[in-house]
Every structure is written in structure tokens, then in C-alpha cells.
Chain A
């Protein structure tokens, strides 16, 4: 059974201070931070870098912890061609999958697979899944 995954869209690095961690990685890797935002609802501070087709997302609390940041790999997101079909197939297999909901990326829907992924927090995502206005185009990062 295929869920129609096309590529890894993004990999999450969770940190106690996402701004400091992103700045550190930017300096080490010589790559710019492409986008910074606050996640609606949770207030999480997000920063993004991009390498090829894959985005690195640095995610942290609204207020960073004191001291040196602690960071860890915290999951990834696969792009799929049809998120509703993929969710349906996974549920048919018995997977606990959340309902697709709007992602922070304009026009995209995302659904979390809540288990059965061998310890890797995992979500699927489809760009262009929400009817577009001219402003709702896929971001560069």
C-alpha cells in the first residue's frame, strides 16, 4: 500500500531556544534562515532553513529557556499527493491518524500519524490542498 509520498518536506529540530539554535546552525552550515514565525495558537517560535527540497524547521517555546540550548531531532513530514486518500488508507490499516488540518504553510493540510512509525514522530502533508487565494502559494521555506 502506498500513501503517495513524494519527498521529505521538512525535518523538525526541537530546541529549548529555537532562535539561538537556528542562528548557530546557520553559522556552522553557512546557510541563511529563510523564514521566522510564531505558530498560531501555541505561540511556538519557528525558524526555517532549506537544503535542496527539504526544509529544516527549528521549533521552540515562545520564551527560550536560560542557558545553552538543548536541541534534538523531533520528527519529519512527508509530502503526499492526496492527503485525504493517504489518511483513509492509513486508518484502514489501523493507524491512529489525526484529521487533516491547515499547516503553517499557506494552502497546505497536515495530519499527524500518532504511532506505528518506529519511534519517529511523523506527519503527512499536502501543499495546495486548501483552495487558494493569490496569497496562498507555497512558500520557499
Chain B
């Protein structure tokens, strides 16, 4: 498995537009308008804010189901996941499963590692391009 970089840090927020406005107005960090939007299958609305070679991903739950909504219910706003860019997602998933990790099947270039396999940290694997 070859890790290329930290792709992004996922941050759960209550109100996406308010969070984006805060980060732009007060920190000068602007969302990339070409990425993000609503993902009904995941029950979220998101936006990406580039900072160097990585992004901050702001995530707002839009349903009361799923892990993002559950995180928001239990902890409010905060850091939700760490996304790692890999060169070969299928190979990365196989590598981690061979080490005993629980990993979701790749879907749209993304797979999730169960926090049970990482002492509690939500890890995402992503293959760009």
C-alpha cells in the first residue's frame, strides 16, 4: 500500500454555510466552489477548503441517520475523520484486510476503515483521479 498524502480532515459542523463563512472571513480560508455539495446516499452536505496540499472538509448532516448524524448527536461539532490518499485503493483495502482490519468495499474511489480497527479513529482511504 502506498500512501500519497493526507487528503483531508473531515469536520462535522451544524451549519455548513456558517462554518464556511467563519473560516473565510476570519482565517482567509476559502471553499473550492468546484467541489462538494449534497450526497444523499451519505446523508450529508459538504464543502472542501484547500490548505496547502490537503483540504479541510466541512460536513453537515442532512438526515438523522448515519455516522455523521450520530457523531453530531453525540459530540456536536468536531473533527470526524482523517482521509488518506492512496495510489491503489483496491490494493490498500486488501492490505488492511490482510492485517485484520475491517474495511468497507471501495465505492466511488473511497473506502472506510472501521474505527474498531484503529483504536477509535475514523480513517478513510481515497484514490483520486
Contacts and interface: CB of A to CB of B under 8 A. Distances in A.
Interface string B8-21: 01011100000100
Nearest to B5: A52
Nearest to A86: B27
B119 A69 contact: yes
Interface string A45-80: 000000111101000000000001111111110110
Interface residues of A, number: 43
Given A5-B51, A118-B19, A54 B5 contact: yes
A13 B9 CA distance: 12
A6 interface: yes
A111 to B, nearest CB: 13
Contacts of A75: 79
Given A52-B4, A54-B5, A71-B118, A27 B52 contact: no
Interface string B61-95: 00000000000000111111110100000000001
Contacts of A72: 79, 120-121
Contact of A90 (B26, B58, B96): B26
Contact of A7 (B26, B51, B117): B51
B27 A118 contact: no
B47 to A, nearest CB: 12
Contacts of A31: 3
B28 A70 contact: no
Contacts of B52: 6-8, 53-54, 79
